[in-house]
Amino acid sequence: MNILIIPHVPHTVCNIPGRSNFFIENLKKNNEIHVLSWDMPYPLTFNRIRNFSSIIKNYTTSIEDNIFVHHVGRTFILPPLNRGVVNAQIRDIIDKNSIDVIFSESFIWDLVPPFDEVPVIYDLVDDHVDSYKNVPLMMRFMSKFLRIEDSIGEQIEKADHTVFVSSVLRDKYKNLSKEASVLPNGVEINKFRMAKPDRFIDKFNLDNYDYVLGYVSYFGEWSNLYETVSNLIPFLEEKNSVIIIAGVGPEVDKLRKIGSDRVILTGMVEHQHIPSLMKTFDVGLLPFRKYPFTDAASPIKYFEYSAAGLKVVSSPLEEVRRIEFGNTVFFDDIKDIRNAVEMAIEIDCDKSALMRSVKLYDWSRLSNSLENILKTKL
């Protein structure tokens, strides 16, 4: 198949592998992959105005023998005007490259694909609509400006098949779709199986501690980072333990005020080293604030913690509760996270059973399921 993939964010935004990257890595074995890319013309900044010529360029580059990146130009500032310009370029890509099917993760109006050329499979990777409800006024304005709700609704209704990243999202939107399935996020099992923790044990002198807790994420306001660490400091001090915080985000700066030698801030850890780092943990933390956006999430870090064989302490996120790995202790109030950690340390977790469960979420297996869905629509 010749597959055109529209990621939910362009590759220019973040170099951390996401859902579409894992699918591409597996789908490229038997298919020719075409990836849509773009630059963000808004919100307007001096640098964007200065580099506007790159934003409006239309070009194609080959990054592997069977992977091609097509940069689409966005000529106008207003999304309704860009929709027509981008659609014309997508149609041209379809014609010139004999595209068989489109796999779209788009959630903004500009990047909604045409539905009258080839079959379209829509992938709803997050509850984007709810993610913009409890945010500053400017962010709410941007969600209206980008027509996020309209974009998602149109794609679910018009796509030949909709893939939902969680059963929570399927339950919310399934009545809009012609045909639907759940395809969660996953994990690269082999990388965790082969990972060795020694490098990080030596780097952070982890043999000096009885327990190592770990939290790996992008730390936005929803991450509950400051409250998590604040409530765990007494445990860390009493139990000769340490917590490793791996990642960046606005909450990390706030955390620096605590100033405890029981807290290790690693900054951003390269993706290929995450399995080795996680294998130093005794407990992985997933203490997100609970609201509709996080309830509907399929957290990649949950699957990665589990692939590392860890006990996990989590807020009662609905989708995580439904997965039922058997290695997870939930807490209702962030003030109770210490009790949850202590319970997690004591629970008897059958690691063989855990690994059998996690195998179902290997990216290669999930990609095979996606490939089968794409084939049925040809």
pLDDT(215) > 60: yes
C-alpha 261/C-alpha 275 separation (Å) is 24
Q: What is the tens place of the pLDDT at every residue in 57-74? A: 788 998 888 999 999 988
Domain count, the chain: 2
Q: For the sheet with 328-330, list strands across it.
A: 263-267, 241-246, 211-216, 283-286, 311-314, 328-330
% residues pLDDT > 70 (the chain): 93
Q: Determine whether 42 is exposed, middle or buried from the number of CB atoms within 10 Å of its CB (0-12, 13-18, 19+).
A: middle
Model confidence band, residue 13 (pLDDT cutoffs 50, 70, 90): very low
Domain extent, residue 140, equals 2-185+363-376
Model confidence band, residue 50 (pLDDT cutoffs 50, 70, 90): low
- Asked whether residue 209 falls in the same domain as residue 310, the answer is yes
- Asked whether residue 328 falls in the same domain as residue 268, the answer is yes
pTM beyond 0.75: yes
Q: What is the tens place of the pLDDT at every residue in 238-294? A: 999 999 999 999 999 888 888 889 999 999 999 999 999 999 999 999 999 999 999
- Asked whether residue 259 falls in the same domain as residue 279, the answer is yes
- Asked whether residue 241 falls in the same domain as residue 200, the answer is yes
- Asked whether residue 52 falls in the same domain as residue 180, the answer is yes
Position with higher pLDDT, 39 vs 298: 298
C-alpha 356/C-alpha 352 separation (Å) is 6
Q: How far is CA 178 from the centre of its chain?
A: 25
- Asked whether residue 369 falls in the same domain as residue 347, the answer is no
What CATH number does the domain containing 264 carry?
Answer: 3.40.50.2000
pLDDT for position 147 = 87
Distances (CA, A) of 215 to 171, 177, 222, 288, 290: 29, 36, 14, 11, 17
- Asked whether residue 176 falls in the same domain as residue 32, the answer is yes
C-alpha 39/C-alpha 55 separation (Å) is 5
Q: Which of 280, 282, 321, 274 is nearest to 301 (CA)?
A: 274
- Asked whether residue 349 falls in the same domain as residue 367, the answer is no
Q: What is the tens place of the pLDDT at every residue in 330-377? A: 999 999 999 999 999 999 889 999 999 999 999 999 999 999 999 999
- Asked whether residue 257 falls in the same domain as residue 314, the answer is yes
- Asked whether residue 140 falls in the same domain as residue 273, the answer is no
- Asked whether residue 157 falls in the same domain as residue 68, the answer is yes
Gyration radius of the chain's alpha carbons: 22
